[in-house]
Amino acid sequence: MAELAKKPANIATIIVEEKLTPPWKEAWISFYKNRLALAGLGIVVFFILIAIIAPIIAPYSFKDQVLADRMLPPSSKHWFGTDDFGRDIFSRIVYGARISLWVGFFSVLGSVVAGTLLGIVAGYYGRWVDAIISRIFDIMLAFPSILLAIAVVSILGPSLQNALIAIAVINIPNFGRLVRSKVLSVKQEEYIMAARAVGMKDTRILLRHILPNSISPVIVQATLAIATAIIEAAALGFLGMGAQAPTPEWGKMLADSKNYITQAPWTLFFPGVAIMLTVLGFNLMGDGLRDILDPKMKQ
């Protein structure tokens, strides 16, 4: 009898515990079960740590030139070999992680802020406001992204900062259209209509209801966009329109070494692998977040 009396209480306790599980904890459990996403997170964290402790682990300064050590193959003295100026490639790649991650994070942050703002305004107010903003997005998307980035850098001048601005600008339409489509769906919900009916101001509706319920796809897109931004920064650096010498940006390192692909292939191999692994990490992590945050993927 005592065991039967305890059983309902235990069942109720289990149900309550399941209901009280925080959403972030459920998301982390789902993310943890996705081995590929976890591997992507590990790669991203690895490169972030490398960027943070670059001065500690780099055996040389990224700009030290020793012409007597030009084009040395990988060895115990120079783990990744040296380039055409005798600079240690390992040290330059380690410091280059700072630059690539900095460009990736902050260019996407600028795109997210501007794109989300424009997308919310276009989707919520509609009519001529939506028409103008949507046409601007369409015009920007009509150009290949790299050509638009080159045009922006050509106007501003070649530099790492201007490359960051260019990458941020070309990604604004992607976030803007994503947020706009989400807002068009959310603003038809009953709780939004109820908020309008009680006289809640548009600013409060946008900040308290529309934005929180539209941010999930933005997080996923932002994670994937960082990988794209790193590639675009490398492309601009390769074309000589991004980071300038002696900045150890990975794309610039590839550009400086392209003439030595047969003579010293390690000068291209290691920067290329660094770009590939970083982009792979963000892509795997983004796919994992999409599986968790996208309701269609859950179904």
Q: Cβ–Cβ contacts within 10 Å for residue 72, how many?
A: 18
pLDDT at 174 over 70: yes
Residue at 221 is within a domain = yes
- Higher pLDDT among residues 209 and 5, named by residue: 209
Query: What is the count of structural domains for the chain?
Result: 1
What value does the mean pLDDT of the chain take?
83
If pLDDT is split at 50, 70 and 90, which confidence band does 53 have?
very high
Residue at 93 is within a domain = yes
Residue at 212 is within a domain = yes
Q: Which position has the token pair 């947020």?
A: 179
Q: Helix, strand, coil: what percent of the chain each, to 5?
A: 75, 0, 25
Written in H, E and C, the secondary structure of 105-143 is HHHHHHHHHHHHHHHHHHHHHCHHHHHHHHHHHHHHHCC
Residue at 182 is within a domain = yes
**What number is the average pLDDT over the span 61-83?**
87
Range of the domain at 227: 46-298
Residue at 196 is within a domain = yes
DSSP classification of residue 259: G
**What number is the average pLDDT over the span 70-96?**
90
Residue at 17 is within a domain = no
Provide φ and ψ at 26, rounded to 5°: -65, -40
pTM for this predicted structure: 0.81
* Distance linking the first and last C-alpha atoms of the chain: 42
Cβ 242 vs Cβ 165: under 8 Å: no
Cβ 248 vs Cβ 1: under 8 Å: no
With a CB cutoff of 8 Å and minimum separation 6, the contacts of 12 are: none
**What number is the average pLDDT over the span 263-278?**
90
**pLDDT, tens digit (0-9, with 9 covering 90-100), for 201-219:** 777 778 777 888 778 788 8
pLDDT of residue 26: 67
Residue at 102 is within a domain = yes
Residue at 68 is within a domain = yes
Instruction: Quote the crossing angle between the two packed helices 127-141 and 89-125, to the nearest 10°.
Output: 150
List the one residue out of 207, 208, 210 whose CA is nearest residue 188: 210
| Domain CATH code at residue 200 | 1.10.3720.10
